[in-house]
């Protein structure tokens, strides 16, 4: 990303804040992975390692009343919406203090009070749901927007296409992100689709689309800003393909031996945190001491989160029976 453009378009404090969330995401996910390796977390661990800039970039571009419908590599977006590291770890540990009170695990986090639509494992399911939230905003004349995200694999599903089509026909205020990290579990992109760039899919829906460097937080942020502006002004949806690389396995149990080592080596040089640090240095926004301070801060926050989660109670077995149905007072006003 052109430094002059970054300097002009993004405030120093905003960039430093994004850097903080990049570091918080990485530190938190590394800590969760460590807990998993120690056998303290049951079930899958899905990280955004090497892809942190996408969620941090798009979620930083939103206003408080906007909504996100993220997928499983969007940890930064959860954190920016106010889900705490402690809540995330509690969710992984199946504790009652997790956002789903132990009903669901890992990154299946949702909380409408903080503008987060919960993720379901069926990739792209939340895209039609996101268009529906956007439909409600449009019908009520509100200026809120929705950002949703899915992977390259998710774009093969019918729900992806049904959502883009409907959003475009009705010019709904929604932004569709695609985290193109080259692999859907073990399936490489060329076996997922016959096109080279996912963004080509947007053309079929007469939807503006663009490709961004998914490892450049400033570039993701500015693209999201433009798309949000379009959505807010009633011009309809935008599709953004963020190119990146999944640096770990699909889940932490997956060694990802099917990914060529050279590819990982190549992408390691484009690490989003390293890139952000270089940018901050070059802009004179973050000297070594400033960045070190952020690093120390997030470490403390993550450790406090581990402590909170570990001290939190597990749910009682019989709580399984609670909450199948909603009561009227739980309906969104």
Partner 1 sequence: MTTATAQEVTYLEAISQALDEEMARDERVFLLGEDIGPYGGAFRITEGFQKKYGEWRVLDTPLSESGFVGAAIGAAMMGMRPVVEMQFADFISCAFDQITEVAAKNHYRWGAAVPMVIRAPFGGGVHGGPFHSECPEGWFFHSPGLKIVAPSTPYDAKGLLKAAIRDPNPVIYFEHKFLYRRVKAVLPQEDFIVPIGKAEVKRTGDDITVVTYGATVHLALEAAELLAKEGIDLEIVDLRTLIPLDKDTIFASVRKTSKAIMLHEDNKTGGIGAEIAALLAEECFDCLDGPILRIAAPDTPVPFSTPLEEYFLPKVGDIVAAARKLAAY
Contact residues: partner 1, CB under 8 A: 67, 69, 99-100, 103-104, 108-112, 117-118, 120, 122, 125-139, 146, 158-159, 162-163, 165-166, 169-170, 323-328, 330-333
Closest CB to partner 1 among 132 and 153? 132
- Min CB(181)–partner 1 separation in Å: 24
- Min CB(305)–partner 1 separation in Å: 19
- Min CB(331)–partner 1 separation in Å: 5
Closest CB to partner 1 among 98 and 214? 98
Closest CB to partner 1 among 171 and 226? 171
Backbone phi and psi for residue 292, each to the nearest 5 degrees, phi listed first: -65, -40
Closest CB to partner 1 among 43 and 323? 323
CA distance 5 to 18: 17
Closest CB to partner 1 among 157 and 226? 157
Select from 196, 181, 184, 193 the least CA-distant residue to 243: 181
How many beta carbons lie within 10 A of that of residue 54, not counting itself?
32
Residue 80 tokens read as: 């920016």
- Min CB(206)–partner 1 separation in Å: 13
Closest CB to partner 1 among 215 and 238? 238
Residues contacting residue 75 through CB under 8 Å, at least 6 positions apart: 25, 28, 29, 47, 48, 52, 55, 88, 107
- Min CB(163)–partner 1 separation in Å: 6
Residue by residue, DSSP assigns 196-250 as S-TTHHHHTTT--EEEEETT-HHHHHHHHHHHHHHHHTT---EEEEEE----S-S
- Please say whether the beta carbons of 107 and 80 come within 8 A: no
- Min CB(237)–partner 1 separation in Å: 13
CA distance 99 to 117: 12
């Amino acid at each position: 990303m052109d430094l002059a453009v970054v300097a002009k378009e993004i405030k120093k404090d905003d960039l430093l804040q994004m850097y903080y969330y990049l570091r918080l995401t990485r530190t938190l996910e590394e800590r969760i992975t460590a807990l998993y390796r120690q056998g303290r977390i049951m079930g899958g661990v899905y990280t955004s390692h090497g892809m942190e800039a996408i969620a941090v970039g798009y979620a930083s571009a939103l206003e408080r009343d906007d909504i996100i419908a993220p997928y499983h590599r969007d940890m930064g977006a959860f954190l920016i919406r106010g889900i705490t590291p402690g809540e995330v770890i509690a969710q992984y540990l199946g504790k009652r203090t997790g956002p789903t009170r132990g009903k669901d695990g890992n990154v299946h986090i949702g909380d409408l009070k903080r503008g987060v639509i919960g993720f379901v494992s069926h990739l792209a399911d939340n895209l039609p749901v996101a268009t529906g939230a956007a439909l409600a905003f449009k019908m009520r004349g509100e200026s809120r927007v929705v950002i949703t995200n899915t992977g390259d694999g998710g774009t093969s599903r019918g729900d992806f296409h049904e959502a883009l089509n409907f959003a475009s026909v009705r010019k709904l205020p929604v932004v569709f992100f695609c985290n193109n990290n080259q692999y859907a579990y073990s399936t490489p992109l060329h076996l997922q689709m016959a096109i080279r760039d996912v963004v080509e899919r947007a053309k079929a829906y007469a939807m503006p689309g663009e490709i961004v460097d998914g490892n450049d937080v400033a570039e993701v942020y500015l693209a999201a800003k433009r798309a949000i502006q379009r959505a807010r002004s009633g011009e309809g949806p935008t599709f953004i393909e963020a190119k990146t690389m999944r640096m770990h396995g699909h889940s932490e149990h997956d060694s990802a031996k099917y990914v060529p080592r050279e590819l990982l080596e190549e992408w390691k040089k484009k690490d989003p945190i390293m890139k952000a640090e270089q940018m901050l240095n070059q802009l004179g926004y973050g000297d070594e001491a400033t960045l070190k301070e952020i690093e120390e801060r997030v470490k403390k926050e993550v450790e406090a989160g581990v402590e909170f989660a570990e001290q939190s109670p597990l749910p009682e077995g019989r709580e399984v029976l609670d909450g199948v149905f909603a009561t009227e007072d739980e309906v969104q006003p």
